[in-house]
Amino acid sequence: MEIEENFLYTKEHEWVSIEDNIATMGISDYAQEALGDVTYVELPDEETEVEQFEQFVSVESVKAASDIYAPMAGKVIEVNRKLEENPGLVNKDCYGKGWIAKIDVRDMDESTNLMSAEEYRSFLESLEH
């Protein structure tokens, strides 16, 4: 189960990497493995305003659809259009080429509501029991 050390994580298995007030997000290795082959990603419109932990993306696998939640509040400024033709990038490279959206962060303080890589690792271990 891979975890990027420099990212922050949510309880719903989204990751976020924040640089210059822009939060790039996707889903973790645990999430992509649980979902199975991703067949479709319903991306939000650019300019959409989201609250922290609000559902804003839907990821579908062959047999089911899953809600994805914004790790930080703000405005969606870019979505990964490559996922339209190649949704499998979410499985193959969930922390890199499989990124889903970039958010212009409204309130950096909200990052305290997220888990560090180490906290996420412990969280995953607690799920196994």
Partner 1 sequence: MTVETSLHNTPLADVHLSLGAKMVGFGGWNMPLQYESILAEWEHNRKTASLFDCSHMGEFMVKGDPLACGLDRIVTQPIVDMPVNTCRYGAMLNEEGGVIDDLIVYRRGPQDWMIVVNAANIEKDARHIQAHLNSKAHFEDASFKTAKLDLQGPQSREVLKALVPGIEKLSYYTFDQFEINGASCLVSRTGYTGELGYEIYCPWEKCKEIWQNILDNATVKPTGLGVRDVLRVEMCYSLYGHELDESISPLEAGLDKFIDDKKDFIGAKAMAARPGGCGIGYFESRSRKSPRAGNKIFDAAGKEIGVVTSGTFSPALQVGIGIGFVGRPNKDVGVEVFFGDEKNKAAASITKRPFYKNGSLKS
Binding site for partner 1 (CB under 8 A): 36-37, 39-40, 42, 60-65, 87
Q: How far is the CB of 108 from partner 1 (least distance, A)?
A: 32
Q: How far is the CB of 14 from partner 1 (least distance, A)?
A: 21
Nearer to partner 1, 49 or 104 (CB): 49
Q: Which of 74, 68, 20, 24 is nearest to 47 (CA)?
A: 74
Residue with tokens 């995953």: 124
* CA–CA distance, 129 with 127 (Å, rounded to integer): 5
Nearer to partner 1, 10 or 61 (CB): 61
Strands 74-79 and 49-50: antiparallel
Nearer to partner 1, 26 or 87 (CB): 87
Residue with tokens 């490279």: 93
Q: How far is the CB of 37 from partner 1 (least distance, A)?
A: 4
Nearer to partner 1, 7 or 69 (CB): 69
Scanning 9-116, the segments in alpha helix (DSSP H) are 29-35, 82-85, 89-92
Q: How far is the CB of 32 from partner 1 (least distance, A)?
A: 11
Residue with tokens 């993306």: 57
